[in-house]
Structure formats: structure tokens, C-alpha cells
């Protein structure tokens, strides 16, 4: 088994019902922060971490994602040599650096099930998972790059966390553990979306994970949990019983783009701080 991380898995089969009607005929991952789709920010974060083997668990109605990470000959032909061409430089760059593979989740049984569906693309090696609707921005190394560096040191499962207000625990997986160095916890307990009174802490998992391939066997035997779905949180909690699982407080900002408010905040942030018009 290689111990270097090369692959990044993007579960991208969800419906995005909170954004209807925008997501009626368009994947939620293609919603844009200003002029770039959420999924492209995620892929760029993976590239920044050195992960250029990109795997998507997609589903029905998601073909725009495949088309986005491919060449559009007609478009290239139309704008070749014009001032607009520079607008395509960044996505061309992404396409040329990565390989993209796809598998479809035929039925939706939760995030754990989506990740298990990706086994065929990941195989027997450690891998990263990015949930593209958690948009992360960091001033130095990207969040995934921070986590890959940590993996290289510890060679174990790692989840990204941040502190959240105590009344929001029902929206997240929540961890509890021992702080082994500032911002780094050895996980003892993980609960998916507990009520505030049942939450073991206010440390919430955000959509960045480094997983080892033994997670697939655990997922195969994980019963449906919260919401009747197979939860990755439950599988990682099981993993923590027998091996080291770390929770890492990210250095950077994270926006929940699965919610309208977070999406608007991220849009403003990108416009003010990151937006380039291709020039």
C-alpha cells in the first residue's frame, strides 16, 4: 500500500434542494462564487495539496461537471486570439494538471455510502475527501495541503474541524477528544448532528477528510445512522476505537455554501479578496 496521498474524492451526487430552482437542471457543485464554480475551487485546493488524481462520485443530472473539466472545442475556437481567451487560462491549467475519473451513485444512502461508492476509483490507498459546498480559503497553504502535511507526519485518518456556536451542533458531525498539541485532537468520540444538549463539544467536522482505505470495510458494515443514512462520521468513530484518528482545527476561513447565507458570504468574500477577471 502506498502511503502517499495522490487521490482526492469529491462526493457530488446530492440534489442541492436548498438552492432550488437554481439546482433544478444544474448540479449544485456548479453554482458559482462570482465567476468560478464551487467544484473548481475544491479541485484547485486539491492541486495545491499535490493531489492531481481527481475522482468524482456523481449522479444523474451531473454531466455539467464532466463537461466543465474538459475542453469545449467550439468555445475555444470562438474566443481564440480574442481578449476573452484569458478567462479560460485558469480552467485550462486545472485540466492539464489533473486526471478526472467518475462513478455514479445510483441510489442516495448518505455521505458514507457516497464515499463507499468511490472505492472503485480510490482502491487500496489513503485519499482525501472534499465536500465542495464547504468553501475554504487560507492565506498560506490551502486547508487540504495543511492536512496532507499532517498525514505525512502521522499516517492516520484526519478530519478537519472548527469551533461552532453551541446551538448549531445539529448541522454537523461533532468530535470529542484530547488536545495533543494546539489545535490537534486525538478523537475519542464522534457524533453525527447531535442536539446541543447531547453534543460532546462544539468542535464541528467540516468537509475535508483524509481517510485510509480500511474505511471501506468499515463502511460496508456501518448501519444507517442519523436520518436513516450511512454516515461517514459513524464509520470514522468506529475507526477511532481501534486506531488513531486526528481532528485538526484548520487555519483559514470556511464558508458553508450549502446554505444561502454562507453562499452569499462566500460570494462577497471571493469578490473582495480572490476574484480575478482572467487578466
Q: How far is the CB of 206 from ligand G1P (least distance, A)?
A: 5
Q: Is 172 in the site for ligand G1P (CB under 6 A)?
A: yes
Q: Which position's Cβ is nearest ligand G1P?
A: 173
Figure out which of the listed residues 206, 210, 257, 270 binds ligand G1P, where binding follows CB under 6 A: 206
Q: Cis omega before residue 92 (within 30°)?
A: no
Residue (91 or 208) nearer to ligand G1P, CB: 208
Which has the closest alpha carbon to 10: 93, 103, 94, 92? 103
Figure out which of the listed residues 205, 257, 266, 270 binds ligand G1P, where binding follows CB under 6 A: 205
The continuous run of DSSP H or E covering 210 comes out as: strand 203-211
Task: Choose the binding region for ligand G1P from 39-47, 72-80, 136-144, 200-208 (rule: CB under 6 A).
Answer: 200-208
Task: Choose the binding region for ligand G1P from 27-35, 59-67, 92-100, 198-206 (rule: CB under 6 A).
Answer: 198-206
* Bridge partners (DSSP) listed for residue 136: 254
Residues in CB range of 242: below 8 A, 6 or more apart:
none
Q: How far is the CB of 242 from ligand G1P (least distance, A)?
A: 20
Would you state the cell numbers that stand for residue 260, as one nine-digit string? 444561502
Task: Choose the binding region for ligand G1P from 39-47, 92-100, 180-188, 204-212 (rule: CB under 6 A).
Answer: 204-212
Q: Is 42 in the site for ligand G1P (CB under 6 A)?
A: no
Which has the closest alpha carbon to 205: 243, 239, 256? 256
Q: How far is the CB of 81 from ligand G1P (least distance, A)?
A: 43
Per CB under 6 A, which of residues 94..153 are in contact with ligand G1P? 111, 131, 134
CA 50 to mean position of chain CA atoms = 15
Cα 219-56-9 angle, rounded to 5 deg: 55
Residue (94 or 237) nearer to ligand G1P, CB: 237
Binding string, residues 215-234; x marks residues near ligand G1P by CB under 6 A: ----------------x-x-
Q: In which residue are the cell numbers 436548498 written?
A: 18
Residues in CB range of 144: below 8 A, 6 or more apart:
8, 45, 46, 48, 49, 51, 128, 130, 136, 208
Q: Is 164 in the site for ligand G1P (CB under 6 A)?
A: no
Contact between 2 and 243 (Cβ < 8 Å): no
For the chain, the maximum distance between any two Cα atoms, rounded to a whole number of angstroms, is: 61
| Residues written for the chain | 279
Residue (44 or 234) nearer to ligand G1P, CB: 234
Figure out which of the listed residues 53, 192, 212, 247 binds ligand G1P, where binding follows CB under 6 A: 192
Contacting positions for ligand G1P (CB under 6 A): 111, 131, 134, 172-173, 192, 204-207, 231, 233, 258
Amino acid at each position: 500500500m502506498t502511503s502517499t496521498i495522490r487521490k482526492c474524492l469529491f462526493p457530488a451526487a446530492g440534489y442541492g434542494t436548498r438552492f432550488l430552482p437554481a439546482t433544478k437542471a444544474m448540479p449544485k457543485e456548479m453554482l458559482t462564487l462570482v465567476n468560478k464554480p464551487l467544484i473548481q475551487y475544491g479541485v484547485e485546493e486539491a492541486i495545491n495539496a499535490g493531489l492531481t488524481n481527481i475522482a468524482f462520485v456523481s449522479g444523474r443530472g451531473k454531466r455539467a461537471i464532466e463537461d466543465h473539466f474538459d475542453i469545449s472545442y467550439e468555445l475555444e475556437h470562438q474566443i481564440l486570439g480574442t481578449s476573452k481567451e484569458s478567462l479560460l487560462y485558469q480552467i485550462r491549467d486545472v485540466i492539464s494538471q489533473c486526471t478526472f475519473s467518475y462513478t455514479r451513485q445510483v441510489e442516495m444512502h448518505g455521505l458514507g455510502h457516497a464515499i463507499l461508492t468511490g472505492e472503485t476509483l480510490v482502491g487500496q490507498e489513503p485519499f482525501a475527501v472534499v465536500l465542495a459546498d464547504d468553501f475554504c480559503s487560507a492565506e498560506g497553504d490551502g486547508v487540504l495541503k495543511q492536512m496532507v502535511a499532517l498525514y505525512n507526519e502521522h499516517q492516520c485518518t484526519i478530519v478537519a474541524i472548527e469551533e461552532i456556536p453551541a446551538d448549531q451542533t445539529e448541522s454537523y458531525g461533532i468530535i470529542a477528544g484530547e488536545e495533543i498539541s494546539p489545535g490537534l485532537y486525538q478523537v475519542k468520540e464522534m457524533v453525527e448532528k447531535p442536539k446541543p444538549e447531547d453534543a460532546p463539544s462544539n468542535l464541528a467536522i467540516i468537509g475535508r477528510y483524509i481517510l485510509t482505505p480500511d474505511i471501506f470495510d468499515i463502511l460496508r458494515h456501518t448501519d444507517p445512522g442519523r436520518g436513516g443514512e450511512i454516515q461517514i462520521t459513524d464509520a470514522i468513530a468506529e475507526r477511532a476505537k481501534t486506531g488513531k484518528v486526528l481532528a485538526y482545527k484548520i487555519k483559514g476561513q470556511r464558508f458553508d455554501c450549502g446554505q444561502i447565507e454562507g453562499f452569499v458570504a462566500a460570494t462577497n468574500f471571493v469578490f473582495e479578496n480572490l476574484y480575478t477577471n482572467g487578466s
